[in-house]
Chain A
Amino acid sequence: MNAPNGHVGAVTVQPLLSVRGLCKHFPVMSRGFCSKVVAVVKAVDDVSFDLAPSETLGLVGESGSGKTTTARCVLRAIDPSAGEVFFRLPDGRMVDLATLPARELKPIRQHAQMVFQDPYSSLNPRMTVGDIVGEPLVIHGLARGEELEVRVAEVLARVGLKPEHRLRYPHAFSGWQRQRIGIARALIMKPSLIVCDEATSALDVSVQAQVLDLLKELQREFRLTYLFVAHNLDVVRNFCDRVAVMRKGRIVELAPTTQIFAAPQHAYTKILLSAVPSPDPDVRMNFNVGEELAKLDAAPQP
C-alpha cells in the first residue's frame, strides 16, 4: 500500500485523510421491463484532496456538484466506483476505506463520523436523546450501564445540553438543539475525523453561528479534523482553513480560504462569490450570473 503524502493542496504534514482519484458513477437505466444502462452520471469525477490532522476543509458547491456524494463516499456510506480513500488510524496505520470489506469497516467507524444536514430526519423520533447519543457506544460495546449513562451525560454537557435532556425525545427540541444532539452522537466515540454534511444549512443564520462556534471549540478541545460540506461560500469563510470548490463532480479550485475569497483563480469561483447577496446595501450583488455561467460552459475546458 503506498501511503501518499500530501501533494494536493499544499499540506506538508502527514495527512489524516488522503483522497485520490475518487469517482462515483451512477448508471441511468432505461425505462421499461428490461432496463438497460443508457448513460452514466458522473456524480463524482476524479476528486483528490488531502486533509491534515486538526484541519478544516470546506467542500463547497451547488446542488448536483457532487459534494455530498464525495462526503458519503469518504465515509463509505456509499461505495465509490473508483479511487482511494486513505485514512490514518490513531495507531498510525493507513487504511483504504474505499476498498475495505464491510466487516473490517465497523471498527473504523469509531474514528470517522458524520453530522447530518437535516436535524429532523437524522434523529430517530422513536428513541430518547440518551439512547440516540449512547447508541455508538452500545454498537461498539464500549460502555454499558452506569458508565454509558455517565458518558452520555458528559458529552451532552459538552455540547451544551443538560443531563436531564437524556430522557426527552427529539420532537421536544428546536432545530439547533437537535443539531447539538447530532454532534454529541458523532463526538461520543472521540473520532478523529468528522464529516459535516451541510451541518448548518437547515438552520437560521443566528443559530448557524452558534453551531459553528461549538464545532470550532470542539475541534480545539478534541483535535478534530473536519470535512465541511456546504453550499454556501459565506458559511465556510470563518470556519475552514482551506476550501475546495466543486462543480459537476470535479474540484475546480482548492486553496486556502483567505486566498479563495481575496483572489479567486477559477472563473466559477468568481461567479459563485459574486452571486452571494451581501448584507451591505452598498455592495451590489451580481444578478447576471446566468449569462456568465452559460459563457463559462461554452468556453473550452482547460
Chain B
Amino acid sequence: MPAAVTPAPPSESSISTLSQWALIRRRFAHHQLAVASLYLLAVLYVIALGAEFFAPYPRQWRDLARAYCPPQLPRFSPEHGIYVPAMKRQVDPLTFKKSYIEDPAQVVELGVFVRGHTYEFWGLFTWDRHFFGVKDPEENLRADGTPRTFFYLGADKYGQDILSRLIYGSRISLSVGLVSIAVTFLLGVTIGGISGYVGGGVDNFIQRVIEVINAFPQIPLWLAFGAVLPADWSPLSTYFAITLVLSLLGWTGLARVVRGKILSLREEDYAMAARLLGASHTRVLFRHLLPGFTSHIIVVLTMSVPAMILGETSLSFLQLGLRPPIVSWGVMLQDCLSIQTVANYPWLLMPVVLIVLTVLCFNFLGDGLRDAADPYSTK
C-alpha cells in the first residue's frame, strides 16, 4: 500500500523558487516603520545630492542685516500666492538686543522653481533655478536696494540661511557615515574573517586587540586624534581623516559578528558536506559561508551608520573635527555652545532635529533588516 502521506509543501509554489533576497524583501515589506524610514532616508540623500538645487541660498551666502532672523512660516493668500510678510528689525533701546517684527505692509512673494543664484551642478551644467525661494529676487528689493530675503528655518549670527546650511551640511554629515562604514566593512570582514576561519592563536590575538580597542575611552581618544590633525589641512583631507578615525574605532563590532557567524556556520553540516565533496577552503568560505551572513553584515553596517553620524557630530561640536568654512551638522551646532544663544535663538538647534531623525531612521531600517535578514528563522 502506498505509504504514508507527507504533509504537502506549502501550496504557494511561488515561495519555493524565491531566493533568499526575495524572501528578505517580502519580509522587509511587512515592517512598515522600516519601509517608511527607508523612503525618508532616500529623500534626505536625494536632497543632499542636489543641495545646490534644493537649498534656497548658496553655501557661503549671508545677509548680515538679518542676523538671527527667526523662522518664517510661509502663508497663502489669493492675492500674493505663497508669501511671507517682510521682517523689520528693532533694537531694544535698553539692552541693544535685536529683534524682528513682521511688517504686514511689505510682502515677500515665494515660489517653486524660482530663479536665484547661479550654481554649477556637480560640474555638469550651470543653472539658476532653485526648488523653493523668493520670487524674482531682482525685483523684490528693500528700500535700501538689497534683495528681500526669506529664512524658512531662521538665520544664524551671520545672517546665513539655516535651511540652506542644513542641506549643504547633510552632504557631509550623511556621507561621513557611508564612507566610514565602507572602511569599517573592509576592516571588519577581513580581520573578523581571518579570526574566525583560521582560529587558534591568531583568533585569540585578534580578540584581545579588539577588547583593548573597545576598552579605550572614546572622547580622550578623539581629543588625541583631533590634536594630531594638522590645522592647515584642506577641508577634504580633514574630512577623510575624520572618517578614518571613526572607522578605526568602529570596525570591532563587525569583526566580532563576522567571526561569530563563521564559527557557527563552519559547524553546519553543509560546510562539511562541501568539504567532503572536495571543495577547497576558498570555495567553502566564499560559496557556502559568506553568503550565509551577508544579510547580517548589511544589518550591522546599517546599525552602525548612526554611530558614525553621531561621531562626526560630536567631534565637530567639540571642535575636534571639521571646522568652518566646511558646513556640517556638527559644525552648525558649534554655534550652540552657549546656553544664552540657545535660549534666545532656539532655531539654531535645528541640526539636532535632523540628526535625531536620521539616526532614528537608520535604527528603524536596521531593525527591519534584522528581522528580515534571516528568512528561515521562523520556519
Contacts and interface: CB of A to CB of B under 8 A. Distances in A.
- In the complex, A touching B (Cβ < 8 A): yes
Interface of A: 75, 77, 105-107, 109-110, 113-114, 116-118, 121-126, 128, 135-136, 139-140, 167-169, 171-174, 176-177, 182, 185, 204, 206-207, 209-210
B9 A207 contact: no
Contacts of A105: 278
B17 A124 contact: no
B373 to A, nearest CB: 12
B292 A126 contact: yes
B14 to A, nearest CB: 10
Contacts of B213: none
A121 B18 contact: no
Give 8 nearest A-B pairs by CB, closest first. Answer: A172-B16, A206-B4, A109-B278, A122-B269, A124-B270, A106-B278, A168-B16, A121-B269
Contacts of A110: 278
Given A136-B277, A139-B278, 20 more contacts: A77-B276, A105-B278, A110-B278, A114-B273, A116-B272, A123-B270, A126-B292, A128-B19, A139-B279, A168-B16, A169-B18, A171-B376, A172-B15, A173-B16, A174-B6, A174-B7, A204-B6, A206-B4, A206-B6, A209-B3
B30 interface: no
Contact of B20 (A126, A177, A207): A126
Contacts, number: 91
B291 interface: yes
Nearest to A174: B6
A97 B10 CA distance: 43
Contact of A116 (B273, B279, B375, B379): B273
Interface in B97-145: none
A107 B277 CA distance: 9
Given A77-B272, A169-B17, A172-B16, A125 B376 contact: yes
A157 to B, nearest CB: 18
Contacts of A77: 272, 275-276
Interface residues of B, number: 31
Contact of A121 (B3, B270, B276): B270
Contacts of A140: 278
Contact of B276 (A107, A114, A124, A128): A114
A207 B6 CA distance: 8
Interface in B328-368: none
A70 to B, nearest CB: 15
B194 interface: no
B277 A139 contact: yes
Contact of B288 (A75, A118, A124, A207): A124
Contacts of B272: 77, 116
Nearest to B272: A77
Contacts of A114: 273, 276
B270 A135 contact: no
Interface in B2-53: 3-4, 6-7, 9-10, 13, 15-20
Nearest to A182: B273
A109 B269 contact: no
B211 interface: no
A139 B277 CA distance: 8
B4 A109 contact: no
Given A121-B268, A210-B3, A185 B273 contact: yes
A129 B258 CA distance: 26
B268 to A, nearest CB: 5
A125 B268 CA distance: 11
A117 B379 CA distance: 19
Nearest to B291: A126
